[in-house]
Amino acid sequence: MPNEPQSGKTEPRVVSKWGHERRLEFIDWRLRWEGRINRGDLTAFFGISVPQASLDIARYIELAPDNARYDRSNKVYVASETFEALYPGTTPERYLNELLARCAGVLQPELGFSGWTPPMDMPANLARGVDSRTLLTLLFAIRNAKRVDVSYQSMSAAKPEERQISPHALGYDGFRWHVRAYCHSRGSYRDFVIARVLHASPTQVNALSADADAAWHRRVDLVIGPNPVLSPGAKRVIELDYAMQAGRVTISCRQALLFYTLKRLGLLPGQEAPPEVQQLALINRDDVQAFLPHAT
Amino acid sequence: MPNEPQSGKTEPRVVSKWGHERRLEFIDWRLRWEGRINRGDLTAFFGISVPQASLDIARYIELAPDNARYDRSNKVYVASETFEALYPGTTPERYLNELLARCAGVLQPELGFSGWTPPMDMPANLARGVDSRTLLTLLFAIRNAKRVDVSYQSMSAAKPEERQISPHALGYDGFRWHVRAYCHSRGSYRDFVIARVLHASPTQVNALSADADAAWHRRVDLVIGPNPVLSPGAKRVIELDYAMQAGRVTISCRQALLFYTLKRLGLLPGQEAPPEVQQLALINRDDVQAFLPHAT
């Protein structure tokens, strides 16, 4: 099979993906987040044999002898007081991100390492589905660097307009998906909300490259601090919430996502709210302002 | 091994988790989103043998004979024009959610089904890590229904205060994690931002149950429409963006998350912005208002 040279040779990589190493990471995760692991957890999750599960646990103990002790009466390994995670992936961030992903329906529960998760919830989303044919046309065009003819309903036009675009990336503003593309009709790189693409036709015309999309490639630093009108005590709490150092924290975003990022933080020009709602302020607004579109 | 009765009996479930059915779903995903599948894709992803991959593809074709045709010259199965997804999971929503999860670092890329994904980005997050010992203490207390003694720095107090809480769930407001708990010091269910928990000590005292947490269990419907000050054309575009029917869409949220949900949508009392930024309005504000805390 000349076209599938990888079939025989990829097995070592695969073994590391689903195999031994992943089972050791699973042991590490369960000990850290649930405080215990036994052979049954491994056989149930991976479908491996009991002897294989014993070997995996023995190997883990060999690598991290101080992380667990065997509780003979309950036939279970219990995390020790001095447990130190062996795998960098088992951080609080990853644990909480896994909860988020489960809650949002992104992660099938059976793919996560957790045997138990707490009840949890987050603000409801106001999203719409995108048309799968449109999405596919855009994806194939990005992948193959081809232009797409779209019928697009913009906010500024009364009726849908025909445009030819060279799409090169997808963007998500927190609510809506858009495609980042060069618009050959307007002569500039723009965002096209996918839901406003009423029709998309593939073409065989080569796309304009993304290299010249300066706003996509340029990064802007946002220096964020507590809202200055808050009391000194309240400011210190906000600093605690966001791990600010010396009253500020810096995040970096693409210029092409600056509008959405500031909007999400309530920091766009014209966005106003009482300080108990708007707890953050943009410290370097003068520097950032120049990177916003002139007309929003 | 009386404490691990599941070890021998769970294998059938496990087979369905990592086995045959998941490989058929993988074939369905690759055909839908990448337009092609061959044996090499299966052997590389699952570490199975070439004959097993052939059997899997044959089985898929048996179940969905019109979904793919074999391209002999390229030795690859190509999705047909009339392709219909066999698995409900292979929807545009799931595809886009998988992109989000990869972008946010929630999903390890090798766990996703996609062989290729487009460049993509979203607004930078302003999150802080939470202390892992505090998180563990809260998780164990939720799981075992025990109270926790915390030292908590609230916005309203000058110094941290000692409180005993009965935690029962985690919440995420879009930026910060909090624990939902009954506060025995204040006599009510409240949100405690985890970053403001300066110290947490487990206790052996049984927790108060979550049953009486009315604001957690009660759901509030939000009826959302386009901002009425927008032009008729712009309103129609916003209706398109969010798949509104007759100018409105309804989302449901827990009362305990209402403040965060409205804040995220820019719809809290006192939040203001120009219409090109604030494109949405809360149609049933009078009904919703009663469910907001009196003092925010």
Q: Over the stretch A83-124, which tens digit does the pLDDT of each residue have?
A: 998 887 678 888 888 888 777 766 666 667 888 889 999 888
Of B166, B191, B210, which residue is a domain's last? B210
**Across the interface, which of A108, A118, A140 has its CB nearest the CB of B170?**
A118
Residues B161 and B184 in one domain: yes
Q: Is A124 inside any structural domain?
A: no
Cross-chain Cβ contact B111/A111 below 8 Å: yes
Q: Is B265 inside any structural domain?
A: yes
Structure-derived torsion over alpha carbons of residues A67, A71, A77, A83, reported in degrees to the nearest 10: -20
Which residues form the domain of A176?
Answer: 132-210
Instruction: For the beta carbon of residue A159, count every other beta carbon within 10 angstroms.
Output: 8
Structure-derived torsion over alpha carbons of residues A105, A109, A112, A114, reported in degrees to the nearest 10: 120
User: For residues B198 and B160, is the Cβ–Cβ distance under 8 A?
Assistant: yes
Q: Is A291 inside any structural domain?
A: yes
Q: The domain that contains A45 carries what CATH number?
A: 1.10.10
**Which parts of chain B register pLDDT below 70?**
1-19, 89, 106-111, 294-296
Cross-chain Cβ contact B268/A261 below 8 Å: no
Residues A151 and A91 in one domain: no
HSE value, Cβ hemisphere, 13 Å, CA-based, for A164 = 12
> How many independent structural domains does chain A possess?
3
pLDDT tens column, A169-226: 999 998 899 999 999 999 999 999 999 999 999 999 999 999 999 999 999 999 999 9
Q: Is B124 inside any structural domain?
A: no
Q: Is A267 inside any structural domain?
A: yes
Please tell me the distance from the alpha carbon of residue B249 to that of residue B279, in angstroms, as a whole number. 14
In the chain, the amino acid numbered B144 is: N
**Across the interface, which of A104, A139, A268 has its CB nearest the CB of B277?**
A268
Residues A106 and A29 in one domain: yes
Cross-chain Cβ contact A47/B19 below 8 Å: yes
Residues B105 and B154 in one domain: no
pTM of the model: 0.84
Closest chain A residue to B1, measured at CA: A75
* pLDDT band at A6; cut points 50, 70, 90: very low
**Across the interface, which of B10, B47, B253 has its CB nearest the CB of A18?**
B47
Classify residue A118 by burial, with Cβ atoms within 10 Å: 0-12, 13-18, 19+: middle
Cross-chain Cβ contact B120/A171 below 8 Å: yes
**Across the interface, which of B17, B140, B243 has its CB nearest the CB of A129?**
B243
Number of H helices, E strands in chain B: 11, 12
Q: Is B228 inside any structural domain?
A: yes
Q: Is B138 inside any structural domain?
A: yes
Contacts of A40 in chain B (CB under 8 A): 1, 3-7
Cross-chain Cβ contact B270/A266 below 8 Å: no
pLDDT for residue A12? 30
Q: B285: which residues sit within 8 A by CB, 6+ positions away?
A: none
Contacts of B44 in chain A (CB under 8 A): 6-7, 10, 13-14
Residues A172 and A137 in one domain: yes
Residues B204 and B136 in one domain: yes
**Across the interface, which of A47, A157, A265 has its CB nearest the CB of B18?**
A47
Residues A187 and A261 in one domain: no
User: For residues A122 and B251, is the Cβ–Cβ distance under 8 A?
Assistant: no
Closest chain B residue to A156, measured at CA: B234
User: For residues B279 and B237, is the Cβ–Cβ distance under 8 A?
Assistant: no
Cross-chain Cβ contact A135/B96 below 8 Å: yes
pLDDT for residue B2? 34
- Measured at the alpha carbon of residue B83, what is the angle toward residues B81 and B84, in degrees to the nearest 5? 145
Of B157, B178, B210, which residue is a domain's last? B210
Mutate which of A87, A90, A136, A217 to disrupt the B interface (most B C-beta within 10 Å)? A136
Q: The domain that contains A138 carries what CATH number?
A: 2.30.30
**Quick one: which of A257, A265, A260, A259 has its CA closest to A283?**
A265
Mutate which of B13, B116, B137, B139 to disrupt the A interface (most A C-beta within 10 Å)? B139
pLDDT for residue B107? 66
More confident residue, B111 or A141: A141
* pLDDT band at A18; cut points 50, 70, 90: low
E strands, A49-187, are: 68-71, 76-79, 120-121, 146-152, 161-172, 177-183
Cross-chain Cβ contact B116/A143 below 8 Å: yes
Mutate which of B1, B6, B7 to disrupt the A interface (most A C-beta within 10 Å)? B7
Q: Is B3 inside any structural domain?
A: no
DSSP 8-state symbol, B284 = T
Residues A232 and A156 in one domain: no
pLDDT for residue A247? 94
pLDDT tens column, B144-162: 999 999 999 998 888 999 9
Of B188, B210, B232, which residue is a domain's last? B210
pLDDT for residue B132? 87
Bridge partner list, B171: A121, B178
Residues B270 and B226 in one domain: yes
pLDDT for residue A296? 39
